[in-house]
Chain A
């Protein structure tokens, strides 16, 4: 069964600290996609990154970096030198290739990690 686990419910850090948000997934398939979304207090979910199962290269975008490890079924997200504007709920999600998902276009969502960055 497909499942996404974000074990950290809430994290609180002080500005400029580095913080890592964990995401562990379960899937039966060899072809799948992983996502991170950010939900600031305004409510809109903002797409951050997509990674497919065949690309294990880590990704860096400014202060954000992602570590994809198939061996541990993890897709962790690190914010370097956190800022108050990073305060949000962060969601990890999984989708599978259509031949496995059938007509199911669902993303399987984690419960989210609420990050508070304090000045």
Chain B
């Protein structure tokens, strides 16, 4: 595998389900990011991890719970989501130094029913 991978690519879940999104980077980076991309809205940065430590949480609801066990893996645990959480969730990674050039995975298309 190369670059940034994300699984699953598509996910349909009910509002009471619990699921997890997985991201893995093979670039030797030490910072990882979760973004949310909704239709007709700008990219929203959700979380930033640097060397496994969370350095940013952009007021994301607690129904989204990130986990970063090491610099190569990032998870987003989902529970009791709302229909408005349906979106494309993108993972990215970068080195933790300027210019913070980010490389993205293909995204997980999430639909909450």
Contact status A45-B99, CB under 8 Å: no
A43-B107, A44-B107, A91-B43 given as contacts; is B98 within 8 A of A107 (CB)?
no
Contact status B42-A105, CB under 8 Å: no
Which residues of B lie under 8 Å from residue A35 when comparing CB positions? 99, 101
Asked whether B94 is an interface residue with its Cβ less than 8 Å from the other chain, the reply is: yes
Contact status A33-B43, CB under 8 Å: no
Q: Shortest 3 CB-CB distances between A and B: which pairs?
A: A33-B99, A45-B104, A43-B107
What is the bound-complex CA distance between A109 and B56, given in angstroms? 17
Which residues of A lie under 8 Å from residue B109 when comparing CB positions? 43
Q: How many A-B Cβ pairs are below 8 Å?
A: 59
Which residues of B lie under 8 Å from residue A47 when comparing CB positions? 101-104
Which residues of A lie under 8 Å from residue B107 when comparing CB positions? 43-44
Which residues of A lie under 8 Å from residue B98 when comparing CB positions? 33, 95, 97-98
What is the bound-complex CA distance between A97 and B98, given in angstroms? 6
Contact with B along A100-119 (1 / 0, CB 8 A): 00011111011110000000
Name which residue of chain A comes closest to B103, CB basis: A47
What is the bound-complex CA distance between A86 and B94, given in angstroms? 25
Name which residue of chain A comes closest to B109, CB basis: A43
Task: Given A33-B100, A35-B99, output 20 extra A-B contacts at Cβ < 8 Å.
Answer: A33-B101, A35-B101, A43-B109, A44-B106, A45-B90, A46-B104, A52-B99, A95-B98, A95-B100, A98-B98, A105-B31, A105-B50, A105-B55, A105-B94, A107-B100, A107-B102, A109-B42, A110-B42, A111-B42, A112-B42
